[in-house]
Amino acid sequence: MRAPLLLCLLLAAGAAVHALDCPPGLTGETCATCESDEACAALSTPDQKYTWCYSNHTFTPETVARSYACSTEDTDFASSISRVAVQCNTQIAKCDFHFAINGYALTCSALQCKFGEDGENAIFCDYTKCSCDSGCPVVNGVSLAYWLDRQTGKTAMDCEDGWPSSLCTIDIDGMNAAPGGFQARCQVGECRTD
pTM for the full predicted model = 0.83
Query: How far is residue 123's CA from residue 140's CA, in Å, rounded to a whole number?
Result: 35
Residue of 99, 75, 104 whose CA lies nearest to 86? 99
Q: What is the DSSP letter of 1?
A: -
Per DSSP, the three-state class of 105 is: strand
**Is residue 194 included in any domain, yes or no?**
no
**Cα 109 versus chain centre, distance:** 9
**Is residue 40 included in any domain, yes or no?**
no
Alpha helices in 102-171 (DSSP H): 144-149
Total number of domains constituting the chain: 1
Phi and psi torsions of 93, nearest 5°: 55, 50
Mean pLDDT, residues 92-102 taken together: 92
The H or E element that residue 42 is part of is helix 37-43
**Is residue 43 included in any domain, yes or no?**
no
What's residue 151's pLDDT? 78
Given a contact cutoff of 8 angstroms between Cβ atoms, the answer to whether 184 and 97 are in contact is no
Residue of 113, 120, 116, 153 whose CA lies nearest to 6? 153
Given a contact cutoff of 8 angstroms between Cβ atoms, the answer to whether 22 and 34 are in contact is no
At residue 4 the predicted structure's pLDDT band, cuts being 50, 70 and 90, is very low
**Is residue 150 included in any domain, yes or no?**
yes
Mean pLDDT, residues 22-37 taken together: 90
**Is residue 52 included in any domain, yes or no?**
no
Pairing of strands 138-139, 142-143: antiparallel
- Identify the domain containing residue 152 by its residue range: 4-15+65-188
